[in-house]
């Protein structure tokens, strides 16, 4: 790391101080964990995740599946990208003083504004409120990068911070310009702006790697995965609760509720079965890993939306074919399993049998779509069997046999 580091940064930030120099944190800093402010920030993002999932439920329940999926991916990108930008910056430059906290509070306000605009963006292709929310978030983050640049000595670290600040500002001008484009052009222009956004970190980090902390980044992504899965569990519970008006309907809801719990718990188990931080050694591994989590987060949230659709269809509130309602659960579940395997699980498998567990589970989950009203429960049983198989295979490896008694986590 070529950037300067203060004595307090080298020891880690101990205690709160009103004002600090925003020096870069150390990549080898001991005991680096998520802060209470970061956890609060994540919880505020749940509002936006919930709004995106709710709109997906309405679209699929009305049999507008294609439009619903496209709209969901568009609005979820805004949620994920804003969260990711803050997370990686905080891992490198979190100084936890008053200006930093105020900037984070401003970003949270932007998140809530963005969430308020999700229904209009999703249903009416009206991005005005969401772009305003993004402007607020970008003002906060651009100011943070400029502050980081001012705290660095002349050199690659300062240049990287300035590239980030300029890239964010230019992309934000593009989002504002999007509001004035013809409505028919907006979704295509949206994709161009997405590509520009994704290029900013690639360009900024090409000559100098910001000092993000591998353990901290892995923990932050893991915590957000837990929060999204928790939102999925909550949404499913609310859906089942609202459908329990007639006791006779419980027989229809029980397989969905049981299968949903198995899917969500298995999704948690599979994600945390391997030490993801061991793969995060440089930008070559970390950027694809970080970008790939768009599919993990989006599919995890979509599982909850799919379970809500399955509940509504089972009690006659959603007039769609049973296979469509089943696919609303099985497809995002399959995407989640495949993406987790591709991003980090496959790098920790010692045998061919271990390597094949998740890839084989993907088509098995998709086949559950054909199981009618039992599709969700069948998918949950497949997910649970996948976990059990992974644990059994891991326990047979030489490393597991020579361990000190700690049971292998599996998949």
**Chain Cα centroid distance, residue 110:** 18
Model pLDDT, residue 23 = 80
Determine the average pLDDT of the residues in 195-204.
95
Model pLDDT, residue 404 = 41
CATH number given to 214-401: 1.20.1410
Q: Quick one: which of 221, 284, 225 has its CA closest to 90?
A: 221
Determine the average pLDDT of the residues in 223-250.
79
Read off the pLDDT of residues 134-152 as tens digits, 9 standing for 90 and up: 999 999 999 999 999 998 8
Q: Quick one: which of 329, 298, 304 has its CA closest to 235?
A: 304
How far apart are alpha carbons 377 and 262 in whole angstroms? 8
Q: What is the pTM of this model?
A: 0.89
Q: Where in the chain is the domain with CATH 1.20.1410?
A: 214-401
With beta carbons less than 8 A apart as the criterion, state whether 201 and 72 touch.
no
How far apart are alpha carbons 37 and 43 in whole angstroms? 10
Q: Quick one: which of 120, 149, 157, 145 has its CA closest to 2?
A: 157
With beta carbons less than 8 A apart as the criterion, state whether 410 and 396 touch.
no
How far apart are alpha carbons 147 and 25 in whole angstroms? 14
How far apart are alpha carbons 29 and 21 in whole angstroms? 17
24 pLDDT tier (thresholds 50, 70, 90): confident
For residue 143, give every residue at least 6 positions away whose Cβ sits within 8 Å of its Cβ, in sequence order, or none.
Answer: 103
Determine the average pLDDT of the residues in 101-130.
93
How far apart are alpha carbons 193 and 191 in whole angstroms? 5
Give me the chain's average pLDDT, please.
87
Read off the pLDDT of residues 261-319 as tens digits, 9 standing for 90 and up: 999 999 999 999 888 888 888 778 889 999 999 999 999 999 999 999 999 898 888 88
Model pLDDT, residue 403 = 47
Read off the pLDDT of residues 31-86 as tens digits, 9 standing for 90 and up: 888 999 999 999 988 889 999 999 999 999 999 999 999 999 999 999 999 999 99
How far apart are alpha carbons 141 and 119 in whole angstroms? 25
């Amino acid at each position: 790391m070529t950037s300067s580091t203060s004595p307090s940064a080298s020891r880690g930030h101990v205690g709160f101080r009103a004002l600090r120099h925003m020096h870069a944190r150390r990549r080898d800093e001991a005991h680096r964990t998520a802060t209470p402010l970061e956890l609060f920030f994540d919880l505020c993002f749940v509002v936006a995740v919930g709004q995106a999932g709710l709109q997906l439920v309405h679209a699929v329940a009305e049999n507008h599946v294609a439009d619903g999926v496209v709209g969901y991916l568009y609005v979820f990108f805004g949620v994920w990208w804003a969260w990711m930008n803050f997370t990686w910056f905080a891992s490198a430059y979190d100084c936890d003083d008053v200006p930093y906290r105020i900037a984070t509070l401003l970003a949270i306000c932007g998140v809530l504004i963005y969430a308020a605009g999700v229904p209009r963006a999703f249903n009416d292709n009206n991005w005005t409120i969401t772009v305003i929310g993004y402007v607020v978030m970008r003002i906060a983050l651009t100011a943070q990068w400029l502050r980081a640049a001012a705290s660095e000595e002349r050199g690659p670290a300062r240049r990287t911070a300035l590239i980030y600040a300029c890239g964010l500002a230019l992309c934000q001008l593009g989002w504002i310009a999007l509001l004035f484009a013809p409505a028919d052009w907006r979704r295509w222009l949206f994709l161009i702006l997405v590509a520009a956004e994704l290029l900013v970190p690639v360009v900024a980090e090409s000559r100098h790697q910001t000092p993000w902390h591998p353990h901290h980044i892995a923990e932050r992504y893991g915590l957000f995965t837990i929060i999204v899965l928790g939102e999925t569990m909550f949404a499913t519970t609310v859906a089942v609760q609202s459908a329990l008006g007639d006791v006779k309907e419980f027989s229809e809801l029980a397989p969905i509720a049981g299968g949903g719990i198995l899917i969500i718990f298995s999704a948690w188990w599979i994600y945390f079965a391997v030490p993801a931080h061991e793969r995060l050694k440089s930008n070559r591994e970390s950027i694809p890993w970080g970008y790939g989590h768009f599919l993990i987060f989006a599919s995890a949230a979509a599982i909850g939306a799919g379970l809500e659709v399955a509940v509504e269809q089972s009690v006659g509130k959603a007039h769609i074919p049973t296979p469509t309602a089943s696919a609303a659960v099985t497809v995002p579940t399959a995407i989640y399993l495949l993406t987790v395997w591709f991003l980090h699980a496959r790098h920790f498998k010692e045998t061919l049998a271990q390597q094949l567990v998740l890839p084989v589970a993907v088509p098995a989950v998709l086949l559950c779509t054909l199981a009618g009203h039992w599709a969700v429960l069948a998918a949950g049983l497949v997910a649970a069997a996948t976990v059990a198989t992974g644990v059994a295979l891991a326990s047979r490896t030489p490393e597991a046999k020579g361990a000190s008694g700690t049971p292998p986590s599996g998949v």
